[in-house]
Amino acid sequence: MIRIAAVGDIHMGPDSQGLLRPAFETLPECADLLLLAGDLTRHGTPEEARVVAREIQGLRVPVVAVLGNHDHHDDKPDEVTAVLRDAGAQVLEGRGTVVPCGGARIGVAGTKGFGGGFVGRCAGEFGEPVMKEFVRHSRRCADGLRASLEQLGEEGCDARIALTHYSPVPDTLAGEPLEIYPFLGSYLLAEAIDTAGADLAVHGHAHAGTEHGMTSGGVRVRNVAQPVIGRAFHVYHLPVRDHATTGTAARAVR
């Protein structure tokens, strides 16, 4: 059983330095891995990223992150990424990583993702160039997630996690105004997850949403935006594959 700690939307700035560090220092007692589901800063400045970096630097568990829309606001996502990587985090965008955890190999595939909406009420690649690019960007993010999950599957990981900022399903948006669902996630992410396979999907972004959801293919989805989980992080217990028996992971995630 692998213990996955996760949180998103911590929106840190200079006045929040040290706010999460005491809780994060307890991670080795309760978790094997920390996932950060984007919107780590308020405006995406390198200065704010350095605040986040001091919260996670030297933690005794691996840290894997994706950026969110706030982390792009200052148009310096590469600088924000560099600061977080210097602090020891693996920051993913359209790629995956394998993390040794408790004797198991956990694969994490990450992308910020993007909007567009969900089946039956979604944007399409039609009309003005800016609308086409909107949907194509969402599709590129989903394609990167799918390819990363497939690669992790080929590498024989004991469990695979899809880490995004935008939501792959509408379930975890319940509580948000219906009018903004297209800006909170995309069904293309869920298609990528179901096509490639995963044992858990984690996202943030929807502050007024709901924690629990599921893709149409049966993958558990968890919204870990801090306003939703109401704590520094939440821990999920993820069974890993038993190679001696079925070769598949149990589906339940608590």
Confidence of residue 102 (pLDDT cuts 50, 70, 90): confident
pLDDT in tens, 45-101: 999 999 999 999 999 999 999 999 999 999 999 999 999 999 999 999 999 999 998
User: For residues 86 and 82, what is the distance between their CA atoms, to the nearest angstrom?
Assistant: 6
User: For residues 191 and 66, what is the distance between their CA atoms, to the nearest angstrom?
Assistant: 19
Structure tokens at 196: 């490639």
Q: What is the pTM of this model?
A: 0.94
Contact 41, 48 (CB under 8 A): yes
User: For residues 175 and 196, what is the distance between their CA atoms, to the nearest angstrom?
Assistant: 29
Q: How many residues does the chain have?
A: 254
pLDDT in tens, 138-195: 999 999 999 999 999 999 999 999 999 999 999 999 999 999 999 999 999 999 999 9
- Give residue for tokens 């996670």: 56
User: For residues 174 and 22, what is the distance between their CA atoms, to the nearest angstrom?
Assistant: 31
User: For residues 3 and 238, what is the distance between their CA atoms, to the nearest angstrom?
Assistant: 6
Strands (E), 38-174: 63-66, 90-91, 95-101, 104-111, 117-118, 121-122, 159-164
User: For residues 63 and 9, what is the distance between their CA atoms, to the nearest angstrom?
Assistant: 15
